Every structure is written in C-alpha cells, then in structure tokens.
Amino acid sequence: MVTGAAGFIGAAVAERLCARGDEVLGIDNLNDYYQVSLKHDRVAHVREAAPDAFAFKQVDFSDWDALSAALDGEDFDSIVHLGAQAGVRYSLENPRAYVEANLMGHVNMLEVARHRDSAHMVYASSSSVYGGNDKLPFSVEDRTDHPVSLYAATKKADELMSETYAHLYRTPLTGLRFFTVYGPWGRPDMALWLFTDAILSGRPIKVFNEGEMWRDFTFIDDIVSGVVACLDKPPADDGAEKAGGSVKPHALYNIGNHRSEKLTRVIELIEQACGKKAEVQLMPMQPGDVEKTYADIDAIQRDIGYQPTTSIEQGIPQFVEWYRAYHKV
C-alpha cells in the first residue's frame, strides 16, 4: 500500500513498484492544498502505465473509521506511507491540518502496520527536522530538538511515535528525511515550479533571504530508487544500533543528493531551460524557513546502497521540459 499516491513522490513510487511487478493499492484524500486536477492526472498516469497492477481509493487516512472501511478486504504485506500535509509556510496558516494529517494520520498508519503484522513500513520524514542546525552536512546522528516550523515538529513527532511502535510491537519501520525533491510531476508550491511558472509567464520571482539560500535538490528518480531500496531492506530486530540511533527495528535515513546548491544557480539553470531571463525580487527570510540544507547520506549509502546520480544540470531541464509539455507552453 502506498499512501499519498496522488502526490508527487507517492505517484512516482507507485509507478516504480508496479513497473517491477508489484501490485499496489494507492490511497489519497485528494485534498485541495494545491490544484486537485494535478493529483487526478498523476493517478491517471500511474493507471495508464500499470492498469492491472495499480488500484486507487480516495480516503482520508487521518479518519480511522473511513480508513478501516476502505482497507476492509484489502491485502497488502508492506506500506510506503508518504501521505502528509506538506509545506513549511502553509503550517503557519493552518496548523490543524498538520496535526490531523501528520499526527493522527501517522498513528493510524502505525496501527494498520501493527494490526496487519506488516513486513515493513517506510514513512516520510523531512529534512526540516534539523531546524536551524548550522553544522553541515546534516547527519542522522545530529540532534533534532529545535524545529522552526510546526510542519517540522509534526515530522519529528512521527519519528518518535514510530520509535515507540518499533519498541512495543517490534514493527519494522524506516523513516526517510527527504531533502528538496524536484522533477516531472512535481509540486506547485515548491520553488522550482513557482520559478518556472513565473519566468514563462513573464512575472517576477520572489527570492527569499536576499538570495542567500542553499538547498540539497534531489531528483525524483533518485528519491524513488532510494525509497524502493529501503522498502526491500527492513531494519532487523537484532538489538544492533540502527542509523539514527535506535536499537529497535527502526532506522532513520537522510535521502538527498549530498550537494547543497545555491538558489541563484538553480534560477540560472531554469532561465537557460526556459530561454528567458527572470525578473528577481529579493525578499527577506520567511518565518519557519532555513538558510541551508545539506544531506549527509553516508548511512543510507552504507546500509542500502543508495547512490544519487542526477545533478541539477541534468534534472532541472527535465523538469522544465515536462512543465512545458504538461501546460502546453
């Protein structure tokens, strides 16, 4: 089962699992955080690629009764839990959405994994758990006690709740701290989409912290390869210390590109791919944002064999090409 199957990463993971011969049940509540039409199009894209291997149900996994009813009679041996209320900035406006989806929703999925004796649940955490840490690159061994947004706090809470389930019920769990994922079928609230849309439309782009921003941009294909590889290797219940420090069957990994790119360089590459210059508005730092992210991926390389291969010089033109084709611009 893949939650958030109409989302950016969820749809891509579902497609990859189907392509290798797995049968996938995708669930998503299709909320209107961004345009629902894109979510429907992602689901249709996965269905088209794997009509016999992919099934989809619209359900809100934060609603236990609705979730239980939707899963009645469904059979699955493992879970990739990618559904969440995403976005740092929106958490300042609508905190309850994050509590419902990311806290209640996560507990519900842990309960599903426990009661169905799942072989493994891989779940989405976030690089935002590192908060304002200024030691770079971020390591899974670093402390994550000082989140700077409610979104980050909910993701940290998910990790803590998962640790208790691994301890109490020995449920094998792997949390993935994603670093700025981008690529075809991406999210409209992310910088790459916003910048591409503005440049092609002739509108100015807003660049925060006066342009002094760095992100570990990770291409969707690399992320999906990492998610699937993790799914295939549940942490052992052997008392040994796992990545992230647990001695339970619970591992935590950074999943990024292991390169921190300055935002101004990303804008240059979008300009090149669009064939147009950007009109830039330099803005102050946004509340809840951080200046730099940079993933130390030693643990996931060592344990899982994860190796990102796509540079932003390769990945950004692929996103812009998809964007133009999708929007016919």
The per-residue pLDDT for range 24-71, each reduced to its tens digit, is 999 999 999 999 999 999 999 999 999 999 999 999 999 999 999 999
Q: Which of 108-122, 200-214, 234-248 has the lowest mean pLDDT?
A: 200-214
The yes-or-no verdict on residue 89 having pLDDT over 80 is no
pLDDT (average), residues 253-270: 95
Let me know if 165 is a catalytic residue.
Answer: no
Q: C-alpha angle with apex 291: 199 to 276, nearest 5 degrees? A: 15
317 or 209, higher pLDDT: 317
Q: Residue 126 is inside which H or E element, if any?
A: strand 120-126
Residue 292 is classified by DSSP as B
What gap in Å lies between CA 290 and CA 304, rounded to an integer? 28
Q: Which of 96-100, 106-110, 313-317 has the lowest mean pLDDT?
A: 96-100
Alpha-carbon torsion 54, 58, 62, 68, what sign? negative
State residue 87's pLDDT score.
74
The yes-or-no verdict on residue 255 having pLDDT over 90 is yes
The yes-or-no verdict on residue 94 having pLDDT over 90 is no
State residue 133's pLDDT score.
86
Q: Indicate which residue of 34, 90, 123, 151 is catalytic.
A: 151
Q: Are 196 and 274 in contact (CB under 8 A)?
A: yes
Whole-number average pLDDT of the chain? 95
* Structural domains present in the chain: 2-179+219-257+294-308 (3.40.50.720)
Residue 132 pLDDT level (bands cut at 50, 70, 90): confident
pLDDT (average), residues 267-296: 91
